[in-house]
C-alpha cells in the first residue's frame, strides 16, 4: 500500500505583507505515527494546522494531500480524510453530547450512527453523559467530546487514509484524562493514521510522539525529525529562551522539562 502523505512544499503564509507568519516550510508528516508540533507563542502553530486542514491557503508554496494540491481537493473529500480538534469548541445551539459527536458523521450514511457514537463516547469515558447538553460540561470534558467527534468522523474508514490534526487537545484535561486522550491518538496512529498534535508540554511530547517539528519565533522550522533527536535541552532552549534539563524515567524514556 502506498503511503497516504500530508506534506508541505516551500509553504509560506502571511496575513499581510508586513506580517509574515510562516516562512518557507517543507516537511512530510509521517503516516502511522504521531508528530508533535512545538514552538513559542506566536510561532504559527495553530495557523499551521488551519493551513493543513485547508481552511486557509498558503501565500506561497503548496500543501499536498496524497500528492495532490490540497486547494484542489473538494471539501467533502477533505472532510473524509482530515479530522480536526480545535483548542476550543463553541456551539451556537444546545446540542447534546451525542449530537455533537454525531456532527462528525455529517455527510456519512446514518446507518450505524448510534453504534459509532456510543463506541467513541465509551472510548473517551463519557458514554454516561451522552444525553446531557454539551454546554454544561467542563472545559476538559468538552475537549474529550471533541476528540470523540473526530474519532466518530473517522470511524469505520481506512485509518491509512486518515489524518488527525489536534491543536492542544488536552490543555484543559486533568492528568488522567490527558493521558487517556493522548493514548487514543497514539492508537489511531498505530492503526495507520497520520496524527499531528500541537503540544506545549515537552514531557508529553517526549512520551507520546515519534516525530517532532519545532517552530521558531520567526515562523521557520528550527528542527524536525525523530522526537528524541529534536526535543532536547539545546533545541528547546534556543527556541524558547529558557533553560531545560533532560532526565530518564524508570522505563528509560528520555524527557525534557523546563528548569524551575
One digit per residue, pLDDT tens: the chain, 260 residues? 456 689 999 999 998 877 889 999 999 999 999 999 999 999 999 999 999 999 999 999 999 999 999 999 998 888 889 999 998 877 767 899 999 999 888 756 666 788 889 999 999 999 999 999 999 999 999 999 999 999 998 888 889 999 999 999 999 999 999 999 999 999 999 999 999 999 999 999 999 999 999 999 999 999 999 999 999 999 999 999 999 888 877 666 677 777 75
Q: Looking at residue 1, what is its pLDDT? A: 44
Instruction: Report the top-level CATH class of 6-227.
Output: alpha beta
Distances (CA, A) of 79 to 44, 65, 70, 108: 23, 12, 12, 10
CA distance 207 to 205: 5
User: Measuring CA to CA, which residue among 21, 14, 15, 79 is closest to residue 45?
Assistant: 21
Q: 105 phi and psi, to 5 degrees?
A: -100, 10
- Read off the C-alpha cell for 148: 470523540
* Cβ(257)–Cβ(207) below 8 Å: no
CA distance 173 to 183: 14
Burial 244-253 (b: 16+ CB within 10 A, else e): beeeeeeeee
The dihedral formed by the CA atoms of 235, 226, 40 and 259, expressed in degrees to the nearest 10: -50
DSSP state, 43? Answer: S
Write down the pLDDT at residue 107.
59
Extents of the domains making up the chain: 6-227
Amino acid at each position: 500500500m502506498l503511503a497516504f502523505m500530508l506534506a508541505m512544499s516551500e509553504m509560506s503564509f502571511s496575513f499581510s505583507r508586513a506580517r509574515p507568519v510562516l516562512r518557507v516550510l517543507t516537511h512530510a508528516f509521517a503516516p502511522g505515527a504521531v508528530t508533535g508540533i512545538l514552538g513559542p507563542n506566536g510561532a504559527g502553530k495553530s495557523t499551521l494546522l488551519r493551513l493543513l486542514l485547508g481552511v486557509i491557503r498558503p501565500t506561497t508554496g503548496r500543501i499536498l494531500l496524497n500528492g495532490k494540491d490540497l486547494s484542489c481537493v473538494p471539501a467533502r473529500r477533505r472532510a473524509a480524510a482530515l479530522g480536526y480538534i480545535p483548542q476550543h469548541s463553541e456551539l451556537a445551539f444546545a446540542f447534546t453530547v451525542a449530537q455533537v459527536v454525531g456532527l462528525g458523521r455529517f455527510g456519512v450514511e446514518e446507518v450505524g450512527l448510534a453504534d459509532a457514537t456510543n463506541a467513541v463516547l465509551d472510548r473517551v469515558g463519557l458514554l454516561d453523559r451522552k444525553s446531557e447538553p454539551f454546554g454544561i460540561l467542563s472545559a476538559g470534558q468538552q475537549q474529550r467530546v471533541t476528540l470523540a467527534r473526530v474519532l466518530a468522523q473517522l470511524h469505520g474508514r481506512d485509518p491509512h487514509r486518515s489524518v488527525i490534526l489536534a491543536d492542544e487537545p488536552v490543555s484543559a484535561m486533568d492528568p488522567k484524562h490527558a493521558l487517556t486522550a493522548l493514548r487514543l491518538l497514539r492508537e489511531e496512529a498505530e492503526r495507520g493514521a497520520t496524527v499531528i498534535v500541537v503540544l506545549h508540554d515537552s514531557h508529553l511530547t517526549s512520551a507520546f510522539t515519534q516525530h517532532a517539528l519545532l517552530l521558531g519565533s520567526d515562523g521557520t522550522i528550527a528542527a524536525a525529525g525523530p522526537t528524541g533527536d529534536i526535543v532536547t535541552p539545546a533545541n528547546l532552549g534556543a527556541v524558547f529562551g529558557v533553560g531545560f534539563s533532560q532526565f530518564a524515567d524508570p522505563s528509560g524514556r528520555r524527557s525534557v522539562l523546563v528548569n524551575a
